[in-house]
Amino acid sequence: MPIVQSSETDTRQGVVRNYVLAVAASIAALLVRGLLIPFLGYNNPYHTLWAAVVFSAWYCGLGPSIVTTLLGAAGIWYWFLPPVDSFYLQNPKTELSGVIGFLFFSGLIIALGETNRRSLAKRQWAEEELQKAHDELEQRVQERTADLNAANESLRELSSRLQQIRDEERRQIARELHDSVGQLLAALSMNIAVVQNQSDKLDPEGVRALSDNAAMVDQITREIRTISHLLHPPLLEVAGLASALRWYVDGFSERSKIKIEMDIPHEFGRLSDEMEIAIFRMVQECLTNIHRHSASPAAAIQVRQDDHRILVEVRDQGKGISPERQQELRLTGRTGVGFRGMRERLRQLGGMLEIRSDDTGTAVSATLPLAGSKTAGRGNPGKSEEVA
């Protein structure tokens, strides 16, 4: 309510000011014309009054310009039409025609000024409405951007939590396989060994079946151990990243028949748990992709520390990613689940992921800040950057 009252007060003050200016303009025009009598005489007394009418019509509005015209006509009639200082006209026909002409052309000037003033007011109103719409749109964009950022942040937190839950589930499954299934297989193997000691009491077919069972139990034990270690390698917690990677790469190379060269310093230090598992999963995912998609006979892994950073690169010599697929990745940012998982892990640790590919092979590189190493404090993931 106070804002509306203030606006009404300003409007009234503006109207009063316009009328005062119009009256002042007409009086000033008459005074100037009076000063010009020694030079112009009493003939054509409307010269200065035209300027007052134009001024009032252009700046003061319809009502004030009419007041200027009427006051000016009355002043001319009284002070400049003979006999002067009187409303009596010496030559009424001639003098009235002059006054009527002045009023007519003043009306044209007022009409043109009012039209122009309304056009300017309409344009100003349109600009104000456009600016208001722009401001509202900008505010909505900012609100939507804030909502989107909040949603993205919630999604990142959820993704991070899901990664942690997934790692924990892998750790629990690996422990259950080792402690429960592994123990049962060990007991079964011992029972088979007892029966094998009494195999002389069995016929040849029974001895063969017993031998096959013992071999199958040994194979299942090895498979369970391999699955358990792949789900969560115990060497990663006990001996660190370098030992876990060497163990995994040796086993993968043996199973896939892909020749793998690994370059990692023997004195490579321990990192935070989150960083070690992120690097291990990245190498694991890259080698899986090489085996499934690249048809590469060889691969190379490099892990090194450089200027307070950890640099990881996995390269192959396969057929690479097709240009169409690379264009799709650049335009849409859509990658496979494996790549998204790698990128999310690295993002949580403040790292970056880069994928380069041509007809000579594919290289996946990761850069991680060393702020999460054990020497600097374990488990302090920073903000992330992603490079598609």
Residue 1 has pLDDT above 70, yes or no: no
388 Cβ neighbours under 8 A, 6+ residues apart: 329, 330, 333, 335, 355
Name, in order, each residue with C-beta under 8 angstroms of 246's C-beta and a sequence gap of 6 or more: 262, 264
If pLDDT is split at 50, 70 and 90, which confidence band does 334 have? Answer: low
Give pLDDT tens digits for 127-184. 999 999 999 999 999 999 888 888 878 877 777 677 778 777 877 787 777 667 777 7
Task: Tell me which amino acid residue 222 is.
Answer: R
Mean pLDDT of 267-281: 86
Contacts of residue 375, Cβ cutoff 8 Å, sequence gap at least 6: 269
Question: pLDDT digits over 187-205, tens only?
Answer: 888 888 888 788 777 788 8
Q: Do residues 103 and 59 touch, judged by C-beta distance below 8 A?
A: no
The encoded tokens of residue 386 equal 């992603």
User: Looking at the domain assignment, is residue 213 inside a domain?
Assistant: no
Gap between the Cα atoms of 243 and 261, Å rounded: 15
Q: Which residue has the higher pLDDT, 21 or 332?
A: 21
Average of pLDDT values for 68-75? 88
Measured between alpha carbons, how far is 366 from 353 in angstroms, rounded to an integer?
5
Residue 327's Cα: distance from chain center in Å?
Answer: 21
Residue 169 lies in a domain: no
Burial class (CB in 10 A: 0-12, 13-18, 19+), 282: buried
Identify which of 339, 241, 262 has the alpha carbon closest to the alpha carbon of residue 293: 339
In angstroms, the CA 342 to CA 232 distance is: 16
Q: What is the reported pLDDT for 371?
A: 64
How is residue 387 written in tokens?
Answer: 């490079």
DSSP 8-class letter at 292: I
- Strand, coil or helix: 300: strand
Q: How confident is the model at residue 12 (pLDDT cuts 50, 70, 90)?
A: confident
Judged against a pLDDT cut of 60, whether residue 332 lies above it is answered with no
Tell me the pLDDT of the chain averaged across its residues: 81
Helix extents (H) in the chain: 2-35, 37-40, 47-55, 62-79, 92-176, 182-197, 204-231, 234-238, 241-256, 273-289, 323-332, 337-348
Our CA dihedral for 191, 196, 202, 206, rounded to 10 degrees, sits at 80
Above 50 in pLDDT, residue 382? no
pLDDT given at position 338: 67
Whether 210 shows a pLDDT value over 50: the answer reads yes
Residue 339's CATH number: 3.30.565.10
Residue 2 lies in a domain: no
More confident residue, 231 or 273: 273
Does residue 197 lie in a domain region? no
Answer for the pair 296, 253: CB distance below 8 angstroms, yes or no.
no
pLDDT of residue 215: 87
Between CA 127 and CA 134, with CA 128 as vertex, the angle to 5 degrees is 90
Assigned domain for 210 exists: no
Q: What is the pLDDT of residue 259?
A: 92
Q: How many structural domains does the chain have?
A: 2
* Residues whose CB is less than 8 angstroms from the CB of residue 69 and which lie 6 or more positions away in sequence, other chains included: 53, 56, 102, 103, 106, 107, 110
Distance (Å, rounded) from C-alpha 310 to C-alpha 267? 14
Structure tokens at 26: 């007409």
Q: Of 87, 104, 139, which residue sits at a domain end? A: 139
**Would you place residue 313 in the very low, low, confident or very high pLDDT band (cuts 50, 70, 90)?**
very high
Task: Flag whether 283 is in a domain.
Answer: yes
Mean pLDDT (whole number) for 298-319: 89
Overall average pLDDT of the 80-100 stretch: 81
Residues 342-362: tens digit of each pLDDT: 788 888 888 888 888 888 888
Q: Is residue 306 part of a domain?
A: yes
In this prediction, residue 328 carries a pLDDT of 67
**Residue 125 domain-assigned?**
yes
Rounded to an integer, the average pLDDT of 213-229 is 80
Domain boundary among 139, 174, 191: 139
Domain residues for the domain of 99 are 12-139
Secondary structure class of 179 (helix, strand, coil): helix
The burial class, CB within 10 Å (0-12 / 13-18 / 19+), for 212 is exposed
- Does the model's pTM come out above 0.85? no
DSSP code per residue over 336-354: -HHHHHHHHHHHHTT-EEE
Are the CB atoms for 342 and 281 separated by under 8 Å?
yes
Which residue, 124, 139, 154, sits at the end of a domain? 139
Specify whether the backbone of 379 is left (phi greater than 0), alpha (psi in -120 to 50) or beta.
Answer: left
